[in-house]
Chains A and B, each alone.
Chain A
Amino acid sequence: MDADTFDESDLFGVVQQSGARALLFGRRALILLGAPVLTADYDFWLHIDDIERFNAAFDADGWAADRSPAEARAQGRYRLENGHLIDVLVARVVPTVTGERLAFDDLWARRKQRSVGGALVSTPSVKDLILTKRFASRAKDAQDIAWLEELVKANVE
C-alpha cells in the first residue's frame, strides 16, 4: 500500500492484523461516523505497549516510523508515513483543557467497534471522542465538538 495505491480498507486491515489496541480518533473518526469534514491525516491512539506490533504490521506494508519505539514512548507520540500520514498518540493518560485526565485503558474499555471495508475498526465512544477534542482545545476542535453533538442528535453513536 503506497501513496498511489492507498485504500482505506487496506489500512484498517493492517491495523486489525497487527493485533494492536488502536483507537481511530480525530477527524477521520468524525468522517467515519457521518460528518462531512476534511483532514490531511489519520489519528490513532495506540496502547503504549503495542507500538512494536503496530509498527511491524505497517513496516511490512511500506510505512516508516519517524522515531523509535523508545523515543515514541518518551515523547508520547510519533508518525507513520508512506506518502500518507498517520499520527500516533501513545500516552497512557492525556489531560483535557479543563483538567480531566483521559486514560487510554478507560477509552479502550468503552470503545465501539465498527465494520469498515471488511475490517473491524475501534473508535472511542462519541462521548469520549468529544472529550478527546478537549486535548488541544483549538477553535477547530470546538467546531468538531459541534459536529459530534449534531451526530448524537442524528442518532449516530
Chain B
Amino acid sequence: MSVPLVPPEVVDRIRAMSERQLSAEEFEAYLEGTRSADERRDMQEQIAWFLRRYPDPVDRLRWARKTYEAWMKTAPPGSR
C-alpha cells in the first residue's frame, strides 16, 4: 500500500505556521489553550515509553537521528 504524498504547498503552509514568530500575546494564548487532558496523558505515555525503551540518553539521541533520517527519505519533496 503506498502512502499518498502530501503536496509541497501543504508542507510549505504547515512549516510556515510552525515557524512563524508569534507575538507575546499569541504565544501565551498558545501555551494556555493547546493541551487537553487527553493530550497531556498522551504526552506522558510517550515520555514513559521513550524512557523505558531507551534508558540511556545516548540511545534516545540515536533513535531521534535515525528516525529523522528515515523520515526524510520518504518525506515529500517540499519538506527536505
Q: Which residues of A contact B (CB under 8 A)?
A: 6-9, 28, 31-40, 97-99, 114-117, 134, 136-143, 145-147, 150-151, 153-154, 156
Contact = CB atoms under 8 A, between A and B. Distances in A.
Contacts of A136: 21
A145 B21 contact: no
Would you call the interface of chain B mostly helix, strand, loop, or mixed? helix
A84 B20 CA distance: 24
Contacts of B57: 32-33, 114-117
**The 6 nearest A-B residue pairs measured at CB:** A117-B58, A142-B30, A36-B50, A137-B27, A8-B61, A150-B43
A153 B24 contact: no
Interface of B: 17-24, 27-28, 30-31, 34-35, 40, 43-44, 46-51, 56-58, 60-65, 67-68, 71
B49 to A, nearest CB: 7
A136 B48 CA distance: 28
Given A34-B50, A34-B51, A39-B68, A137 B24 contact: yes
B44 to A, nearest CB: 6
A9 B20 contact: no
Given A32-B57, A36-B47, A139 B30 contact: yes
16 contacts: A28-B64, A35-B46, A36-B46, A36-B60, A39-B68, A115-B57, A116-B57, A116-B58, A117-B58, A134-B27, A137-B23, A137-B24, A138-B22, A145-B31, A146-B43, A150-B47
